[in-house]
Amino acid sequence: MKHITDIFFDLDHTLWDFEKNSALTFKKILSENKVDVEIERFLAVYVPVNLEYWRLYRHEKITKKELRYQRLSKTFQALEYNASDDLIDTLSFQYIEFLSTFNHLFDYTETLLDNLQERYKLHIITNGFREVQRKKMKASGSFNYFEHIIDSESVNVKKPNPKIFEHALELAKVAPENALMVGDSFEADIMGALEVNMHAIHVDFDKKYTHLLCPIVHHLAEIEKIL
């Protein structure tokens, strides 16, 4: 990867510790709304439900509004907890409102960005909600590392749609052979980037994947060694 000039990062699950910050947010809002469900039990159901609804959202099968409501509704149904529409709406609003107040980044994130910004232009490509992603980055101190923040809502398509990668490349004024995508999602980040002939590094903290399409790292510090 000698000719890389620009590095595009995914945000959630790659740099920003989504599961940890999400769990802390739910612990706060469930308690404040007196929802009598143990947080561990809630998360055990919610996490896979949320991933499935994000998959549907990524493929344009549901709207943003449906995602926010259904992931909570289906979770409470599975838990056999009688949650009213008003409660679900309140939790949905508060979750988005408070999520960015918890700002745990993955280990080595700041060191990695400090080191890379001396040699590369850094950018973000995210499917996350526009109003939330910038709050997360500003609150966590990562915002100023990046020249461009490309979110799916501003482009009207989501990763892995090639249009969002093509838009990002055009915005950064870089050719795909000089661009690198770093992300955790095999489908959205890796396959999406490779389809437009970008380079890719697959961040796999949980060691779930084995493939030869691009380098796989299990810790962010490994990225510098590859570069």
Element at 27 (helix H, strand E): helix 18-32
Domain stops at, among 43, 67, 99: 99
So what's the pLDDT on residue 2?
Answer: 84
Q: Could you please report the per-residue DSSP string of 45-84?
A: HHHHHHHHHHHHHHTTSS-HHHHHHHHHHHHHHHTT----
Residue 116: give its domain's CATH number: 3.40.50.1000
Question: Is the domain of 95 the same as that of 113?
Answer: no
Q: At what angle do helices 85-99 and 18-32 cross, to 10 degrees?
A: 130
- The count of domains in the chain is 2
Cα distance between residue 29 and residue 147, in whole Å: 34
pLDDT per residue rounded down to tens, the chain (227 residues): 889 999 999 999 999 999 999 999 999 999 999 999 999 999 999 999 999 999 999 999 999 999 999 999 999 999 999 999 999 999 999 999 999 999 999 999 999 999 999 999 999 999 998 889 999 999 999 999 999 999 999 899 999 999 999 999 999 999 999 999 999 999 999 999 999 999 999 999 999 999 999 999 999 999 999 99
Q: Do 177 and 88 belong to one domain? A: no
Does residue 153 sit in the same domain as residue 204?
yes
Contacts (Cβ under 8 Å, ≥6 apart) of 227:
1, 4, 116, 180
Q: DSSP 3-state assignment of 113?
A: helix
What b/e sequence results for 45-75 when a residue is b if at least 16 CB atoms lie within 10 Å of its CB, and e otherwise?
Answer: bbeebbeebbeebbeeebeeeebbbbbbbbb
58, part of any domain: yes
Q: For residue 1, tell me if it sits in a domain.
A: no
216, with CB counted inside 10 A (0-12, 13-18, 19+), is: buried
Tell me what pLDDT residue 37 has.
Answer: 97
Which structural domain, as residue segments, surrounds residue 150? 6-16+105-226
Kindly report the backbone phi and psi dihedral angles of residue 151, in degrees, each rounded to the nearest multiple of 5, phi listed first.
Answer: -115, 155
**Looking at the structure, do residues 196 and 140 belong to the same domain, yes or no?**
yes
Q: Return the SS3 of 160.
A: coil
CA 126-215-164 angle, to 5 degrees, is 25
Do both 124 and 187 map to the same domain? yes
Using the 8-state DSSP alphabet, how is residue 219 labeled? Answer: S
Question: What 3-state class would DSSP assign to 182?
Answer: strand
For residue 106, what are the contacts with CB-CB under 8 A and spacing of at least 6? 14, 15, 16, 17, 205, 220
pTM: 0.93
Boundary (domain end) residue, out of 77, 99, 121? 99
Contact 73, 53 (CB under 8 A): no
- Say what the pLDDT of residue 130 is: 86
